[in-house]
Amino acid sequence: MMMKIDFANLPKAYQEHKTAIDQAMTSVVSSSRFIMGKEVVKLENALQEFTKSKFAITCSSGTDALLLAMMALDIKPGDEIITTPFTFIATAETIALLGAVPVFVDINQNTYNIDVNLVEEKITSKTKAIMPVSLYGQVADMDELNALANTYDLAVIEDAAQSFGATYKNKKSCNLSTIGCTSFFPAKPLGCFGDGGALFTNDEILANKISSIRIHGQTQRYIHKYIGIGGRLDTLQAAVLLEKLKHYDRDVERRQNVARMYNEFLEGKTKVPFIEEHNTSVWAQYSIQVENRDEVQRKLKELGIPTAVHYPKPLHLQECFSYLGYKENDFLVSERVSKQILSLPMNPYLKIEEIKYITAVLKDLL
Ligand SMILES: *Cc1c(COP(=O)(O)O)cnc(C)c1O
């Protein structure tokens, strides 16, 4: 019997809370306060409460969150930022957009996050920040990174686009470094109905600067202290997120249950994702490695099972970064993983029968 599986099941996420979300959106539309309406501040307060971060500043996307973070830290052309090549383009693209230099460090082969043992050797007099990515919903080794940053007087910017709600030693992702940046892109664990993002910090001066740069660097209307951007979150998106945040803990639990079931059915057949003992993941992706990936993907698709690849080409081999002078074999783990990694359907609504079906089909192909 063939099943038709939904990868992220966004329609269901809406249907489940349709009445409340519709009401919230209608209320914004009726008020016509589309920009910086009261829902934006309400959401920022709720995000602070959720992460226990002193300040949360919403913005137009995860990409803009990264950009705003570096602008607030005065990242200038020629500055170096250490990050990983095994991530979404936005991580390094925003560094380059400011004229700064992404300095890549390979990943740990178990967590797929930045290998902290390789960071120190890349620190130079030009290094200004370390930007770990909490990939697939699991946070990197933040204590070690923060200690290094402390020693060398660097900032740490967590690219937490995939890890909102994850925990590290019982503290929430986004609240583990100088600035945490997340995304509310629809397919992220907490998604809105378009683009959205947020920054988190415990530093009041930075928080004020970020808020200002987000609105064209203004401190009062038409008074501009900094060069900024138009980087606000729409009130409509804030209203949607306020509703979805109410149920987010349960969504995360369901994602964790789905991951547990995948682990159970795949254990012994393939290497299941590794989560550090001090971490909880929000499972932005459930990814495994397969050697014959193209064939596996094609056959799964034929049997109604969509998959995705995060990410097929590490950033140091992307044409846009050819000027950095990296070449093949510079980052062996990233390169090997990018050839084999495969993300299976992941969303809070996957049923045990569906996971049994997916894993049964998959086992025959491994
Ligand atoms: C999604 C993502 C981003 C960018 O977020 P957007 O909201 O799509 O701009 C940045 N970094 C990582 C790791 C991501 O997964």
Q: 237 lies in a domain? A: yes
* 168-202 core/surface letters (b: 16 or more CB in 10 A; e: else): beebbbbbbbbbbbbbbbeebbbbbbebbbbbbbe
To the nearest 10 degrees (0 to 180), the angle between helices 352-365 and 293-302 is: 140
95 and 206 together in one domain: yes
Q: Of 225, 245, 265, which residue is a domain's last?
A: 245
- The answer to whether residue 1 scores a pLDDT higher than 90 is no
- The reply to whether ligand 1 has any atom less than 6 angstroms from the CB of 94 is no
How far is Cα 17 from Cα 22, in angstroms, rounded to an integer? 8
Q: Looking at residue 3, what is its pLDDT?
A: 95
**Cβ contact 85:316 at 8 Å:** yes
62 lines ligand 1 (CB under 6 A): yes
The parent domain of residue 151 ranges over: 10-105+112-245
Is the residue at 268 inside a domain? yes
- Which helix (H) or strand (E) segment holds residue 69: the answer is helix 62-72
Calculate helix-pair angle for 248-266, 235-246, nearest 10 degrees.
60
Same-domain check for residues 184 and 273: no
Position 239 in a domain = yes
The CA distance from 121 to 117, in Å, is: 9
Q: Relative to the CA of 310, which ligand 1 atom is closest?
A: 15
pLDDT of res. 316: 98
What's the pLDDT score for residue 127? 98
Task: Kindly give the distance from the C-alpha atom of residue 322 to the centroid of ligand 1, in angstroms, as a whole number.
Answer: 22
How far apart (Å, rounded) are the C-alpha atoms in residues 104 and 360?
38
Q: Looking at the predicted structure, is the pLDDT value of residue 292 above 90?
A: yes
**Apex 259 CA angle, 253 and 264, nearest 5:** 125
Q: Residue 49: pLDDT above 90?
A: yes
- The sign of the torsion formed by the CA atoms of 351, 354, 360, 362 equals negative
CATH number at residue 309: 3.90.1150.10
| Residue 81, CB-side half-sphere exposure with 13 Å CA sphere | 34
Residues 253 and 166 in one domain: no
pLDDT at site 310: 98
Whether pTM > 0.95 for this model: the answer is yes
Same domain, 88 and 195: yes
Residue 64 and residue 170 share a domain = yes
Ligand 1 within 6 A of 159 CB?
Answer: yes
Which ligand 1 atom is at minimum distance from the Cα of 284? 15
The pLDDT assigned to 23 comes to 98
Same domain, 238 and 252: no
Atom of ligand 1 nearest to the CA of 195: 7
% of the chain with per-residue pLDDT over 70: 100
* Residue 69 in domain: yes
The pick from 112, 185, 195 for probing ligand 1's pocket by mutation, whose C-beta has the most ligand atoms within 8 angstroms, reads 185
Residue at 4 is within a domain: no
pLDDT at 76: 98
- 254 and 208 part of one domain: no
**CA of 353 relative to ligand 1 center, distance in Å:** 31
* Of the residues 205, 223, 245, the one at which a domain ends: 245
The set of residues, in sequence order, having a beta carbon less than 8 Å from that of 36 and lying 6+ positions away, is 232, 235
Query: 118-165 pLDDT, tens per residue?
Result: 999 999 999 999 999 999 999 999 999 999 999 999 999 999 999 999
Let me know whether 149 and 70 are in one domain.
Answer: yes
| Any domain includes 5 | no
The answer to whether residues 207 and 322 belong to one domain is no
Q: Rounded to an integer, what distance in angstroms lies between the CA atom of residue 119 and that of residue 173?
A: 20
Please report, for the domain that includes residue 18, its CATH number: 3.40.640.10
Asked which of 230, 245, 260 is the last residue of a domain, the reply is 245
Task: For residue 270, list its beta bridge partners.
Answer: 267
Q: How far apart are CA 165 and CA 171, in angstroms?
A: 9
Averaged pLDDT for residues 171-193:
98
Check if 198 has its Cβ closer than 6 Å to any atom of ligand 1. no
Q: How confident is the model at residue 276 (pLDDT cuts 50, 70, 90)?
A: very high
Give how many domains the chain has, as a whole number: 2
Residue partners of 277: CB distance under 8 A and separation at least 6: none
Residues 100, 129: Cα–Cα separation, whole Å: 11
**Residues 167 and 288 grouped into a single domain:** no
Same domain, 200 and 313: no
Pair 207, 333 in one domain: no
Asked whether residue 2 is domain-assigned, the answer is no
pLDDT digits (tens, 9 = 90+) for 304-356: 999 999 999 999 999 999 999 999 999 999 999 999 999 999 999 999 999 99
Residues above pLDDT 90, as percent of the chain: 99
Centroid of ligand 1 to alpha carbon of 362 (angstroms):
28
pLDDT in tens, 68-105: 999 999 999 999 999 999 999 999 999 999 999 999 99
- 207 inside domain: yes
| Ligand 1 centroid from CA 84, angstroms | 14
